[in-house]
Amino acid sequence: MTTKTQHRLTFFTPKSTDSNGAIFIDSGISAGFPSPADDFRETRISLDEELISNKEATFFAKVSGQSMIGAGLDDNDLLVIDRSLEPKNNKIAVCFLDGEFTVKRLRVEKNEVWLQPENPNYPIINITEDNDFVIWGIVTNVIKKI
């Protein structure tokens, strides 16, 4: 069975820093009426501490493609992937399928596994015993540039 490549992932290693994190304004940023500037407090936040629960099993990868736009995963987004999490129905997973990495929503029904894109222009992939298939990790967060 041949499958059209819908999503390629480029694995990414962030540069390590010795900083204590970026400045975090914990009062919230108003999307309505502005709040007085003297009402906010400034603290520091580490995205590693906020986004990663298992450092040894967590990886980053950049998305390439459009098959998951309905799930909010766009071209060049940075995925946070945890390999220690158990794959479950409806989770978004990074999978190794027939020699390529792809990211899709898992659909597990009875004894069948399907990889569901979140874009109607891409086909659903039914995993069979003929496929070289591994669920590599579960996507826990996505980081976007705007």
Mean pLDDT, rounded, of the chain: 81
The partner residues of 10 in beta bridges, in order of sequence, read 62
CA dist., res. 136 & res. 57, Å (int): 11
CA dist., res. 59 & res. 38, Å (int): 39
Q: Give the model's pLDDT for residue 40.
A: 56
Q: Is 53 a catalytic residue?
A: no
CA dist., res. 63 & res. 79, Å (int): 7
What CATH fold (topology level) applies to the domain 8-13+49-143? Answer: Umud Fragment, subunit A (2.10.109)
Using the predicted structure, report yes or no on whether residue 118 has a pLDDT greater than 90.
yes
**Where are the chain's structural domains?**
8-13+49-143
Q: Give the model's pLDDT for residue 37.
A: 57
Q: Which of 104, 110, 144, 145 is flagged as catalytic? A: 104
Summarize pLDDT for 80-106 with one digit per residue, the tens: 999 999 999 999 999 999 999 999 999
Residues 16-30: what's their mean pLDDT? 54
Q: Which of 15, 30, 67, 84 is flagged as catalytic? A: 67
Using the predicted structure, report yes or no on whether residue 5 has a pLDDT greater than 50.
no
Q: Which residue did the predictor score with more confidence, 23 or 87?
A: 87
Q: What is the pTM of this model?
A: 0.73
Q: Is 104 a catalytic residue?
A: yes
Q: Which of 35-44, 52-61, 84-93 has the lowest mean pLDDT?
A: 35-44
